[in-house]
Structure 1
Amino acid sequence: MRIIRGLLATAAVTLAMPAAGQDAATLAQRFGALESIRQLSMSPGGNYVSIVAPDKTGGQVLYLADLTVPGLPKAIMRQGQPDQQLRWCEFATDTRLVCMVTLQMDEGGETLNFSRLFSMATDGTDVKQLSARNGGRSLGRVFYGGGIIDWDLPGKPGKVLMSRVFLPQDTSGTNIRSKGEGLGVEEVDVTTLSRKLIEKPRSEASEYISDGHGNVRIMGITPRDADGYLRGKVSYSYRKPDSREWEGLAKVVQSDAGLWGGFEPYAVDGARNVAYGFDDNNGYSALFAMSLDGLGSKELVLGRNDVDVDSLIQIGPSNRVVGASYATERRMIEFFDPELKKLAAGLGKALPGKPAISFVDSSADESKLLLFASSDVDPGQFYRYDKTARKLEPLLPVRAELAGMKLAEMKPITFAAADGTQIPGYLTLPPGSAGKNLPAIVMPHGGPGSRDEWGFDWLVQFYALRGYAVLQPNFRGSAGYGNAWFRRNGFQSWRTAIGDVNDAGRWLVSQGIAAPDKLGILGWSYGGYAALQSSVLDPGLFKAIVAIAPVTDLEGLRADRIDYADYPLVDRLIGTGAHIREGSPARNAGQIKAPVLLFHGDQDTNVKITQSRLMADRLRDAGKQVELVEFQKLDHYLQSNAARTRLLSQSDAFLRKAMGIPAN
Structure 2
Amino acid sequence: MHMRFTPFLRAAALAGAFLGGHALAAEPAPPRPTIADFFNNPEFSDALLSPSGKYLAVRLGRKDKRDMLGVVELDTNAVKVVGNFSDADIGKYAWVNDNRLVFTATDKDLAQGDMRYAPGLYAINRDGTGFRQLAMRNGKPFITSGSTLGVRELLPWHTYLMDEEGAQDSDYIYVQDRDLSGPGQLNHINLVRLNTVTGRTAGVIDRPGDSTFWMLDFKGEPRLTIVRDKGTSSMYYRDPASKEWRKLGDFDSYTGKGASFRPLAFGPDGTLYVVSWHHSDVSAVYTYDINSGKLSDKPLVKLDGFDFSGQLIMDQHKLIGIRHLTDALSTTWLDPAMQAMQNEIDKMLPNTVNLLTLPKRRESPWVLVTAYADIWPKRIMLYNSETRKLTVVGESHPAISPNAMAQTNMVRYKARDGLSIPAWLTLPRNGSKNLPMVVLVHGGPYLRGSSWGWDAQAQFLASRGYAVLEPEFRGSTGFGARHFVAGWKQWGLKMQDDIADGTRWAIAQGYADAKRICIAGASYGGYATLMGLINDPDLYKCGIEWAGVTDINLMYDGSWNFLSDMPDGYKQFGMPQLVGDQVKDAAQLKATSPLEQAARIRQPLLMAYGTADMRVPLPHGTKFYKAVKQTNPNVEWVEYEEEGHGWKLPKNRIDWWGRVEKFLDKNIGATH
Same-fold status (TM-score > 0.5): yes
* In structure 2, C-alpha distance between the alignment counterparts of 1:259 and 1:625, rounded to whole Å: 45
Which residue of structure 2 lines up, in the alignment, with residue 625 of structure 1? 634
1:362 paired to 2:337: no
Q: Which has the higher contact order (CA 8 A, sep 6+)?
A: 2
Which residue of structure 1 lines up, in the alignment, with residue 175 of structure 2? 162
Q: What letter is aligned with 2:91?
A: R
* Post-superposition CA distance 1:572-606 (Å, at most 9, x none): 33222133222222222112221111223333333
Which residue of structure 1 lines up, in the alignment, with residue 210 of structure 2? 204
Coordinate RMSD, CA, aligned: 3.7
* In structure 1, C-alpha distance between the alignment counterparts of 2:251 and 2:256, rounded to whole Å: 12
* Post-superposition CA distance 1:404-461 (Å, at most 9, x none): 642111122223333344322122111132x222211111222212232211111111
Q: What is the DSSP-based 3-state SS (H/G/I as helix, E as strand, rest coil) of the residue aligned with 1:358?
A: strand
Which residue of structure 2 lines up, in the alignment, with residue 46 of structure 1? 53
Among 286, 290, 295, the alignment partner of 1:298 is: 295
TM-fit CA distance, 1:92:
1.5
* In structure 1, C-alpha distance between the alignment counterparts of 2:37 and 2:533, rounded to whole Å: 31
- CA distance 1:358–1:640, change in 2 (3 Å): same
TM-fit CA distance, 1:619:
1.4
* In structure 2, C-alpha distance between the alignment counterparts of 1:167 and 1:418, rounded to whole Å: 45
Q: What is the DSSP-based 3-state SS (H/G/I as helix, E as strand, rest coil) of the residue aligned with 1:655?
A: helix
* Post-superposition CA distance 1:502-543 (Å, at most 9, x none): 122222222332222211122122222222211111112111
* In structure 2, C-alpha distance between the alignment counterparts of 1:205 and 1:249, rounded to whole Å: 14
TM-fit CA distance, 1:78:
4.5
How does 1:53-64 map onto structure 2 within 5 Å? 56=63, 60-64=67-71
TM-fit CA distance, 1:365:
1.9
Which residue of structure 1 lines up, in the alignment, with residue 452 of structure 2? 454
- CA distance 1:330–1:118, change in 2 (3 Å): same
* In structure 1, C-alpha distance between the alignment counterparts of 2:179 and 2:211, rounded to whole Å: 11
Among 483, 502, 505, the alignment partner of 2:503 is: 505
TM-fit CA distance, 1:320:
8.1
* In structure 2, C-alpha distance between the alignment counterparts of 1:289 and 1:393, rounded to whole Å: 38
Which residue of structure 2 lines up, in the alignment, with residue 147 of structure 1? 162
Which residue of structure 2 lines up, in the alignment, with residue 28 of structure 1? 35
Which residue of structure 1 lines up, in the alignment, with residue 561 of structure 2? none
- CA distance 1:330–1:563, change in 2 (3 Å): closer
* In structure 1, C-alpha distance between the alignment counterparts of 2:669 and 2:410, rounded to whole Å: 29
* In structure 2, C-alpha distance between the alignment counterparts of 1:536 and 1:386, rounded to whole Å: 57
Which residue of structure 2 lines up, in the alignment, with residue 545 of structure 1? 543
Q: Is the 8 A contact 2:96 2:168 kept in 1?
A: no
Which residue of structure 2 lines up, in the alignment, with residue 215 of structure 1? 221
How does 1:131-530 map onto structure 2 within 5 Å? 131=135, 143=158, 145=160, 147=162, 149=164, 151-152=166-167, 154=169, 157-165=170-178, 183-197=189-203, 199-200=205-206, 204-223=210-229, 231-254=230-253, 261-271=259-269, 273-281=270-278, 282-292=280-290, 294-299=291-296, 300-314=299-313, 322-353=320-351, 355-360=352-357, 362=359, 364-365=361-362, 367=364, 368-403=366-401, 405-433=403-431, 435-449=432-446, 450-489=448-487, 492-530=490-528
Q: What letter is aligned with 2:226?
A: G
* In structure 2, C-alpha distance between the alignment counterparts of 1:326 and 1:444, rounded to whole Å: 24
Which residue of structure 1 lines up, in the alignment, with residue 580 of structure 2? 575
TM-fit CA distance, 1:473:
1.5
* In structure 2, C-alpha distance between the alignment counterparts of 1:110 and 1:476, rounded to whole Å: 36
Q: Is the 8 A contact 1:90 1:97 kept in 2?
A: yes
User: Which is richer in strand?
Assistant: 1
- CA distance 1:657–1:153, change in 2 (3 Å): closer
Q: What letter is aligned with 1:510?
A: A
* In structure 1, C-alpha distance between the alignment counterparts of 2:394 and 2:310, rounded to whole Å: 25
Q: TM-score, normalised by structure 1?
A: 0.82
TM-fit CA distance, 1:194:
2.5
- CA distance 1:124–1:549, change in 2 (3 Å): farther
Gaps of 5+ in 2: 1-19, 21-28, 140-149, 182-186, 558-563
Which residue of structure 2 lines up, in the alignment, with residue 588 of structure 1? 597
Q: What letter is aligned with 1:89?
A: Y
- CA distance 1:651–1:41, change in 2 (3 Å): same
TM-fit CA distance, 1:266:
3.0
* In structure 1, C-alpha distance between the alignment counterparts of 2:220 and 2:242, rounded to whole Å: 14
* In structure 2, C-alpha distance between the alignment counterparts of 1:330 and 1:563, rounded to whole Å: 32
* In structure 1, C-alpha distance between the alignment counterparts of 2:308 and 2:605, rounded to whole Å: 38
Q: What letter is aligned with 1:119?
A: A
Q: What letter is aligned with 1:448?
A: P
Q: What is the DSSP-based 3-state SS (H/G/I as helix, E as strand, rest coil) of the residue aligned with 1:504?
A: helix
TM-fit CA distance, 1:264:
1.7
TM-fit CA distance, 1:615:
2.5
Q: Is the 8 A contact 1:150 1:161 kept in 2?
A: no
TM-fit CA distance, 1:484:
1.0
Q: What letter is aligned with 1:633?
A: E
Among 126, 130, 133, the alignment partner of 2:134 is: 130
TM-fit CA distance, 1:201:
5.5
1:96 paired to 2:100: yes
- CA distance 1:251–1:58, change in 2 (3 Å): farther
TM-fit CA distance, 1:499:
0.9
Q: Is the 8 A contact 1:439 1:467 kept in 2?
A: yes
Q: What is the DSSP-based 3-state SS (H/G/I as helix, E as strand, rest coil) of the residue aligned with 2:300?
A: strand
Q: Is the 8 A contact 1:358 1:373 kept in 2?
A: yes
Q: Is the 8 A contact 1:76 1:122 kept in 2?
A: no
Q: Is the 8 A contact 1:276 1:289 kept in 2?
A: yes
- CA distance 1:263–1:50, change in 2 (3 Å): same
Q: What letter is aligned with 2:167?
A: D
* In structure 2, C-alpha distance between the alignment counterparts of 1:113 and 1:203, rounded to whole Å: 29
Which residue of structure 2 lines up, in the alignment, with residue 174 of structure 1? none
Q: What is the DSSP-based 3-state SS (H/G/I as helix, E as strand, rest coil) of the residue aligned with 1:369?
A: strand
Q: Name the count of aligned residue pairs.
A: 613
Which residue of structure 1 lines up, in the alignment, with residue 144 of structure 2? none
* In structure 2, C-alpha distance between the alignment counterparts of 1:268 and 1:101, rounded to whole Å: 30
Q: What is the DSSP-based 3-state SS (H/G/I as helix, E as strand, rest coil) of the residue aligned with 1:550?
A: coil
TM-fit CA distance, 1:569:
4.4
Q: Is the 8 A contact 1:148 1:161 kept in 2?
A: no
1:120 paired to 2:124: yes
Among 655, 661, 665, the alignment partner of 1:646 is: 655
TM-fit CA distance, 1:376:
0.5
Q: Is the 8 A contact 2:276 2:284 kept in 1?
A: yes
Q: Is the 8 A contact 2:546 2:609 kept in 1?
A: yes
- CA distance 1:21–1:280, change in 2 (3 Å): closer
TM-fit CA distance, 1:488:
4.7
Q: What is the DSSP-based 3-state SS (H/G/I as helix, E as strand, rest coil) of the residue aligned with 1:642?
A: helix
- CA distance 1:222–1:112, change in 2 (3 Å): farther
- CA distance 1:556–1:91, change in 2 (3 Å): same
Q: Is the 8 A contact 2:68 2:81 kept in 1?
A: no
Which residue of structure 1 lines up, in the alignment, with residue 184 of structure 2? none
Gaps of 5+ in 1: 1-7, 9-19, 169-180, 224-230
* In structure 2, C-alpha distance between the alignment counterparts of 1:499 and 1:136, rounded to whole Å: 57
Once the two structures are overlaid, the 10-residue window that deviates more, 119-128 or 493-502, is: 119-128
- CA distance 1:643–1:235, change in 2 (3 Å): same
